[in-house]
Amino acid sequence: MEILDYVVIGSGCTGAMAAQTLVESGVHVTLLDAGADESKYSSIIPDKDYLSIRETEQEQHRYLIGDKGEGIAWGGIKTGEHLTPARKHILKWVENLLPIESNTFFPMESLAYGGLGCAWGLGCCQFSDVELNAVGLNKFDMQNAYNIVANRIGICGAQDDASPYTIGELKDFQSAPAMDRNHRLLYQNYQKKQKTFAKNGFYMGRPGLALLTQAQDNRKAYAYKDMDFYSDNDESAYRPWITINRLKKENNFQYINGLLILKFKEQTDHIDIHALEIETNTIKIFHCKKLILAPGVLGSARIVLRSFEEQHKTLPILTNAYSYIPCLQPAMFGKEAEKNKLGFAQLSIFHNENGNNMDVAMGSIYSYQSLMLFRIIKEAPLNFADARIIMRYLMSGILIMGLHHPETKSATKYVELIHDANSITGDKLKINYVLDDIEKNKISAREKKFKSHLRALGAYAIKSINPGSGSSIHYAGSLPMETSGNLFTTLPNGKLAGTKNVFIADGSGFNYLPAKSLTWSLMANAHLTALNSLKNE
Amino acid sequence: MNDFSLRQEAQVYGKYFLHKLPNEQTIEIYAQTNPHKTSSASSNDQKIIHFALHHPWSIGFLDAAQALVKSDSELRKRLYFMFAILESRPEYCSLFLPTKRNWLYLFFIFYSGARSVFKAFFGILLLKIITRHGNS
């Protein structure tokens, strides 16, 4: 029986960071993963900018809308609807292997090589000291971890009004990418009204992004091709598979894919890991000394609930309330398309409501171009032919704000693993996520404030689109961090309570979910958890 | 009920957007993506599509009306697919990219909006007639 040293589950942002920390420390690491990959479209996307592709490429329909039209979403607005054909592999196998029953929660999970990190919007924010405290993380450890992760993935940003909420105290960062005309105008208007905004607790500036604006480690500088929703050709945008691809070259790392991890069982001197081989539908058992779970919050919940075999156990769950708000900036109407553009957020706006850096809400602002006209035309209450004429004038003035709200636990937000004879794994996650009236009112009031402040900058909200709880793709809190040592909790060092050698490296331990972009903090925590797993405590 | 092939359908819908027949490749892509495959068209939907395909002049009216009263209708879905396909063809991309404004642009915006509203009123009447009286 071969006993592996360290096994990491999942190749997403947290799994990649935990694995890198372990590999760099010199121990032997095996990463077990489903690893759904994409090659059909990524190989045919030319290395050109979006407008040149649109004007010249005969095959563009294949990767813009898909061979079978799979990129054309019709019907109600759903989580993940914006995924383009080249990103659809993120959802491969999910419906069959990760079944969910819920009419109040609509999450996105991934079994892809690189996990949800393949579609990450790259937003990077440091949590404030009070937020870290509420989450359950140590601010000194996290500050150091933020720097280490930033060095690994490459972060760009700027020192401006928003930097206390974005790059925070990070010293080593690349310059922010150039803004397009739409954002430049909005930002100029903000600078004129800075004082009034500050008085109301609103701050705008450049977001921190896991994007290289200067070449680094064989990754190219961002080239403003505006193909960010389709391709990672230059590797300027950080994706977790970049880390895994590098680790594969190390002698003390091995990657095994095609597996869905079901559960673990701790024996006296090792841990058994039960995995389903996806292709053959057979069970495989691996053995290891230490296990680091990083399959994402819902994935960890499934694995831990199966492993502890406690009937009818419910676990808490957190997700940021999220809506996106299309806005029109009339001063930009009738401007021609810009060739050099950026698909990621170009401005962030924060609302520090109470002035204490707690419960800060965050809006990320994007231009609308490369997702094409057809995705928004169906929202217009006009016939498509006339809507097309109008939208061509309005398109350059469209801004989309994605608005995240902070989130706390409550008894009406929980997950439970229930029996399901039709599921390959024999079970499914039942999720209940209900906000009370106070929470709903707070969200609605905050949304109104954001809209009125955008209006003051000359950007008028058309509507709010709320795809439902879970659509923020930020999840946390199912195995809360505490010192009690109770089952189904995480100890402050990341160890799963009730086990000797199982650690949780994803956001399952977070007791509070700030509205800020989460992934940098998740990766920093994964790094710390991996370090803790190296200690014999 | 629908005696039109996917290719014939593509010609009708393409002409609605372009005011001329779409090229062969566009028709082929429409047939390949086949918006029918995920259809659950009700009998009313089928009647409306049947009417629209036999009377292409009515599509603008039906589209405008359904944008207000049943924006997820089967006819709108098929038009939407054609819209997306045309947008992803280099020959037609200039019809979908942002356009530079001239001094008349506000007039074009309001005229197009008002035209759609007018079409919607007539289209709602047409929808009632079609759904009551069935085929063509």
Q: What confidence tens digit (pLDDT) does each residue in A470-498 have?
A: 999 999 999 999 999 999 999 999 999 99
| Secondary structure of A261-311 in HEC code, one letter for each residue | EEEEEECCCCEEEEEEECCCCEEEEEEEEEEEECCCHHHHHHHHHHHHCCC
> C-alpha distances in angstroms, A183 versus A252, A329, A331, A373?
46, 10, 12, 19
Q: Is residue A120 a contact partner of residue A465, using CB atoms and an 8 Å limit?
A: no
% helix, strand, coil for chain A, step of 5: 30, 25, 45
* Residue among A71, A75, A373 minimizing CB distance to B96: A373
Q: Using CB atoms, which residue from B85, B105, B120 is nearest to A61?
A: B85
Chain A, nearest residue to B32 by Cα: A68
- Kindly state whether B92 is in contact with chain A, defined as any CB-CB distance less than 8 angstroms: no
- The single residue listed with the structure tokens 């997700």 is A319
What CA–CA distance (Å, rounded) separates A410 from A416?
15
- Asked if pLDDT for residue A66 goes beyond 60, the answer is yes
CA distance A448 to A72: 31
Asked if pLDDT for residue A525 goes beyond 50, the answer is yes
Alpha-carbon distance of A231 to A511, in angstroms, equals 35
Q: Look at residue A142 and tell me whether its pLDDT is greater than 80.
A: yes
DSSP string covering A374-441: HHHHTTSSS-HHHHHHHHHHHGGGEEEEEEE--B---TTEEEEEEE-TTSTTSEEEEEEE---HHHHH
Q: Contact at 8 Å (CB) between A30 and A7?
A: yes
Interface with chain B: mutation pick from A61, A377, A396, highest number of B CBs within 10 Å: A61
In angstroms, the CA A514 to CA A528 distance is 19
Q: Which of A54, A381, A386 is closest, CB to CB, to B97?
A: A54
Mark yes or no for CB contact B90/A58 under 8 Å. yes
Q: Coil, strand, or helix at residue A54?
A: helix
Residue in chain A closest to B84 (alpha carbons) equals A374
pLDDT for res A379: 85
Instruction: Please name the residue that has the structure tokens 């969910």.
Output: A100
Nearest Cα to Cα of residue B18 among B93, B75, B73, B71: B93
Cβ-contact A453, A350 below 8 angstroms: no
Confidence of residue A108 (pLDDT cuts 50, 70, 90): very high
Quote the minimal CA–CA distance from A391 to chain B in Å. 8
Cβ-based neighbour number of residue A325 at 10 Å: 22
Give the closest-approach CA distance of B1 to chain A in angstroms: 24
Over residues B37-91, the pLDDT tens digits come to 766 778 899 999 999 999 999 999 999 999 999 999 999 999 999 999 999 999 9
Chain B residues whose CB is inside 8 A of the A64 CB are: 87-88
User: What is the three-class DSSP state of A246?
Assistant: helix
Looking at this protein, which amino acid is placed at residue A337? A
Provide φ and ψ at A348, rounded to 5°.
-125, 145
Nearest Cα residue in chain B from A380: B67
* Res. A79: pLDDT tops 80: no
- B23 contact A CB<8A: no
Supply A151's token pair: 């060095």
Answer whether B93 sits within 8 Å of A374, measured CB to CB.
Answer: no
Whole-angstrom Cα distance, residue A465 to residue A81?
Answer: 13
Closest Cα of chain B to A479: distance in Å? 39
State whether residue B80 sits within 8 Å of chain A by CB: yes
Check whether A277 has a pLDDT greater than 50: yes
pLDDT for res A73: 84
- Sheet containing A100-101: order of strands: A100-101, A427-433, A413-419, A314-316
Q: Is A266 exposed, middle or buried (0-12, 13-18, 19+ CB in 10 A)?
A: middle
Mean pLDDT, all residues of chain A: 95
Using an 8 Å CB-CB cutoff, list chain B residues near A372. 84, 87-88, 96
Least confident window among A136-140, A209-213, A234-238, A365-369: A365-369
Report the candidate in A289, A297, A294, A242 with the shortest Cα–Cα distance to residue A266: A289
Sign of CA dihedral A46, A50, A55, A61: positive
- Contact assessment for residue A186 and residue A243, using Cβ atoms and an 8 Å cutoff: no
Q: Dihedral of CA A231/A235/A237/A243: which sign?
A: positive
- Sign of dihedral through CA atoms A469, A472, A475, A477? negative
At residue B136, the pLDDT reads 46
**Separation of first and last alpha carbons in chain B:** 11
Q: Burial level of A222, CB count in 10 A (0-12/13-18/19+)?
A: buried
Q: Does B33 touch chain A (CB under 8 A)?
A: yes
Q: In the 3-class helix/strand/coil scheme, how is A75-124 assigned residue by residue?
A: CCCCCCCCCCHHHHHHHCCHHHHCCEECCCCCCCCCCECCHHHHHCCCEE
Q: Which of A384, A394, A395 has the highest number of chain B CBs within 10 A, making it the mutation to test binding with B?
A: A384
Which residue type sits at A366? Y
Nearest to B98 among A60, A74, A396 (CB): A396
CB contact under 8 A, B60 and A383: yes
Across the interface, do B108 and A389 touch by the CB < 8 Å criterion?
yes
Query: Is the pLDDT confidence value at A140 over 50?
Result: yes
Task: Using alpha carbons, select from A90, A110, A32 the residue that is nearest to residue A275.
Answer: A32
Residue A146's Cβ-side half-sphere holds a number of Cα atoms within 13 Å equal to 24
Per-residue pLDDT, averaged over A119-128, amounts to 96
Collect all residues of chain B within an 8 Å Cβ-Cβ radius of residue A373.
87, 96
- Of the partner residues B17, B81, B102, the one whose CB lies closest to the CB of residue A69: B81
Check pLDDT > 50 for residue B134.
Answer: yes
pLDDT exceeds cutoff 90 at A75: no
Q: With an 8 Å Cβ cutoff, are A393 and B76 in contact?
A: no
- Distance CA(A32)–CA(A36), nearest Å, equals 12
Beta-carbon separation of A386 and B93 below 8 A: no
Average pLDDT over residues A158-180: 96
Average the pLDDT over A328-341 and give the result. Answer: 92
Whether B18 and chain A come into contact, CB under 8 Å, resolves to: no
- Residue A69 to residue B63, Cβ atoms within 8 A: no
Domains and CATH numbers, chain A: 4-534 (3.50.50.60)
Give pLDDT tens digits for A232-273: 989 999 999 999 999 999 999 999 999 999 999 999 999 999
Q: Which of A333, A382, A384 sits opposite B79 (nearest CB)?
A: A384
> Among partner residues B63, B113, B119, which is closest to A390 by beta-carbon distance?
B113
pLDDT bin (cut points 50, 70, 90) of residue B3 is low
- Each residue's pLDDT tens digit, B98-124: 988 888 888 999 999 999 999 999 999
Per-residue confidence (pLDDT) for residue A77, from 0 to 100: 64
In which element (H, E) is residue B51 found? helix B43-54
CA dist., res. B116 & res. B104, Å (int): 18
Q: Measured between alpha carbons, how far is A31 from A143 in angstroms, rounded to an integer?
A: 27
Domain boundaries in chain B? 6-133
State the best of B20, B112, B117, B122 to mutate against chain A, taking most chain A CBs within 10 Å: B112
- Percent of chain A residues topping a pLDDT of 70: 99
